[in-house]
A and B are shown apart, each in its own frame.
Chain A
Amino acid sequence: ETGVTQTPRHLVMGMTNKKSLKCEQHLGHNAMYWYKQSAKKPLELMFVYSLEERVENNSVPSRFSPECPNSSHLFLHLHTLQPEDSALYLCASSQAGDSSYEQYFGPGTRLTVT
């Protein structure tokens, strides 16, 4: 595998379910990000992990819970979501400490909450 991978690519869940999104980067980066992309809206930054520590939490509801066990893996745990949480969830990685370094994105998980 190369680049940034995400699983699953598609997920349908009920409002009472618990599920997790997984992201893995094979680029040797040490910063990872979760973004939410809704139709007709800008990409919204949700969480940032740098050197495995959370450095940004953009006022995201507690029903979204990130986890970064090591610099290559990032999870987003989902619990009691709302229909408005249906969106494309994108993971990205980059090199921490170099703000000019571009972020590499995964293909995303298309989430539908019913």
Chain B
Amino acid sequence: GQNIDQPTEMTATEGAIVQINCTYQTSGFNGLFWYQQHAGEAPTFLSYNVLDGLEEKGRFSSFLSRSKGYSYLLLKELQMKDSASYLCAVNQGGKLIFGQGTELSVKP
């Protein structure tokens, strides 16, 4: 079956670093997406990993290990506006299988 796991909730402090983990067991794999979704808004694209390793994009980085079925999203220099839900999604030939999302709260 398809299984994608993320922590349900996380809390971090403004200015700190937070790592959101995602583990997956799926029947097919063509890459992994991370999306950010603020309450009441559309999910927006953050990153895409198809090969093992770290992809850095400003304050956000995403890591993938295909052999371990594992990814993480790293957010540095946290800001209050980073409070949102972060969705991990496995790409199966264009079809996305989503985890339940991690609700991140950034506190002052």
Q: CB within 8 Å of B: which residues of A?
A: 4, 31, 40-45, 48, 56, 90, 94, 96, 98-100, 102-108
Give the residue name and chain of the A residue nearest to B43 (CB).
Answer: A105
* B98 lies within 8 A of A99 (CB): no
* A96 lies within 8 A of B45 (CB): no
* B98 lies within 8 A of A100 (CB): no
* A99 lies within 8 A of B44 (CB): no
Min CB–CB distance A60 → chain B (angstroms)? 14
Q: Which residues of B contact A48 (CB under 8 A)?
A: 94-95
B 79-108 binary contact with A (CB < 8 Å = 1; else 0): 000000001010101111111110000000
Min CB–CB distance B48 → chain A (angstroms)? 6
* A107 lies within 8 A of B100 (CB): no
Give the residue name and chain of the A residue nearest to B2 (CB).
Answer: A42
Q: A56-B95, A99-B31, A100-B91 are in contact. Are A108 and B42 (CB under 8 A)?
A: yes
Q: Which residues of A contact B72 (CB under 8 A)?
A: none
Give the residue name and chain of the B residue nearest to A3 (CB).
Answer: B42
Give the residue name and chain of the B residue nearest to A104 (CB).
Answer: B45
Give the residue name and chain of the A residue nearest to B50 (CB).
Answer: A100
Name the one of B30, B41, B45, B87 contacting A43, with C-beta atoms under 8 angstroms: B87
* A40 lies within 8 A of B100 (CB): yes
Chain A CB within 10 A, most for which of B35, B48, B96: B96
B 42-80 binary contact with A (CB < 8 Å = 1; else 0): 111100101000000000000000000000000000000
Min CB–CB distance B30 → chain A (angstroms)? 5
Q: Which residues of B contact A31 (CB under 8 A)?
A: 94
Give A104 to B94 CA distance when docked, in angstroms.
13
Q: Which residues of A contact B98 (CB under 8 A)?
A: 42-44
Q: Which residues of B contact A42 (CB under 8 A)?
A: 4, 97-101
Known: A42-B97, A100-B91, A105-B43. 17 other contacts (CB 8 A): A31-B94, A40-B100, A41-B100, A42-B98, A42-B101, A43-B89, A43-B96, A43-B101, A45-B95, A45-B96, A94-B94, A96-B94, A99-B30, A99-B93, A100-B30, A106-B42, A107-B41
Q: Which residues of B contact A4 (CB under 8 A)?
A: 42
